[in-house]
Amino acid sequence: MSVTNSHHPVILFDGQCNLCNGVVQFIIKRDKTDAFRFASLQGRYGQSVLEKYGLPREDLNTFILLDGDRIFSKSSGALQVCRIMGWPWKIFNLFILVPGFIRDMAYEWIAKNRYRWFGKKNECQVPSRELSMKFMD
């Protein structure tokens, strides 16, 4: 399976995480330019991206943005999404001034507690027919 997608940045997320699914729905509703595509980290496409870039295939505690051949993860990935989404979300890129290790400490704390705070699905959510074109698998 090819993991390059030259036309659309791909957001890889934990498909079982309620918080992650909520963030995906939030982005879809506000993605006015149809910029993004999505894939769960557990799916074939997500697993092939992790393998191609030498990332742990069992570590689902991260958010990944694949933009061309570049990978952005954790807080850097989230900030890149905000940049691509445009105004008013682009304003969050001011957080790029905060050192990455500090941003990622906050990110990792939320990621570590996301199931406890927001819950977990037993299976990845299946997108509606209208949204299925936005999902890679």
Residue 80 lies in a domain: yes
Residue 91 lies in a domain: yes
Q: Range of 78's domain?
A: 10-126
pTM, two decimals, is 0.86
Total domains in the fold of the chain: 1
- Give the closest residue to 40 by CA, choosing from 113, 123, 115, 112: 123
Residue 133 lies in a domain: no
Per-residue pLDDT of the chain (137 residues; tens, 9 = 90+): 556 555 899 999 988 888 888 899 999 999 989 999 999 998 999 999 999 998 888 777 788 999 999 999 999 999 999 999 989 999 998 999 999 999 999 999 998 998 899 888 776 566 666 777 888 87
Using CB atoms within 10 A of its CB, is residue 18 exposed (0-12), middle (13-18) or buried (19+)?
middle
How far is Cα of residue 20 from the mean position of the Cα atoms in its chain? 8
Token code pair at residue 14: 């934990």
Residue 20 lies in a domain: yes
Residue 3 lies in a domain: no
HSE-up (13 A, CA, CB side) for residue 2: 5
Residue 2 lies in a domain: no
Residue 30 lies in a domain: yes
